[in-house]
Amino acid sequence: MDTNKIIIAFIYLIGIAFLLIFNELNYRRLNIKGEYSRKIAHFMSTLATVPFPYIFPSHWYVLVLATIFFLVLFISKKGTLLGSINNIDRLSIGSYLLPVSIYITFYISQAVGNKLIFILPMLILAISDPIAAIVGISLQKYNHKIKFFGINTGKSMFGSGAFFISSLIISLIAIYFNRLVFDEKSFWLAFLVASISTVGELVSFRGSDNISIPLSVVLILTFFI
């Protein structure tokens, strides 16, 4: 392995650890609700992975980082080390699935040879998912829950709407910079990515959207980019 890449991976490890510690301190000092501090940590840690395709030439670097953070999150669940992530009033495996999702998406992106296949799913996961959750929690009036075949998904109209709009904007920008042209294909590809990822978020449960969102985007990009 390249020594420089190992050093960069170590710096990333320390950097993301500091982000989680900073979020934990704010959670304890400012008495932030667990749902909000969890989304802040989700946003910061996921967004920090976006440059990975430009930094790491092999998926093995990402596998090591993902494994370390999976173990940290797993161990923290047993105590009070990361209340900013674990102190929520619902069952969720989302924190465990996030590092798994990051690695799988990176591996597919590298195998296909297209950086967008990693970058766009991570941007949507980092930005649109927290936006949907915060909007859904904050706007309660007239915010009806969405049902599929009589089954309550636990997701709201405003939350899913916010997810779709934000993911559409992100997709339009990312696809434009990838293709360096904005045409009918760019718009419909962005619209398809936003639509399918919104459905992926909508039908997920117990934090499984951390893997259903990026993989749904990967699927669309792999076939249509």
Packed helices 34-47 and 94-112: angle between N→C axes, nearest 10 degrees: 20
Say yes or no to pLDDT of 152 above 70.
Answer: no
Higher pLDDT, 136 or 155: 136
* pLDDT value of position 209: 87
Percentage of the chain modeled with pLDDT above 70: 86
Where residue 162 falls among pLDDT bands split at 50, 70, 90? Answer: very high
How confident is the model over 52-84, as pLDDT tens digits? 999 999 999 999 999 998 888 777 766 566 666
How confident is the model over 107-125, as pLDDT tens digits? 999 999 999 999 999 999 9
CB contact set of 105 (below 8 Å; sequence gap of 6+): 117, 118, 121, 122, 214, 215, 218
Residue ranges of alpha helices (H) inside 31-140 are 34-47, 52-55, 59-76, 83-86, 94-112, 116-123, 129-138
* pLDDT value of position 59: 93
Which residues span the domain enclosing 78? 3-224
How far apart are alpha carbons 193 and 125 in whole angstroms?
12
Where residue 40 falls among pLDDT bands split at 50, 70, 90? Answer: confident
Number of domains in the chain: 1
Q: What is the mean pLDDT of residues 158-179?
A: 93
Helix/strand/coil (H/E/C) assignment for every residue in 212-223: HHHHHHHHHHHH
How far apart are alpha carbons 141 and 149 in whole angstroms?
24
Higher pLDDT, 5 or 222: 222
Across the chain, what does the average pLDDT equal? Answer: 85
Say yes or no to pLDDT of 151 above 80.
Answer: no
* pLDDT value of position 112: 94
* pLDDT value of position 38: 76
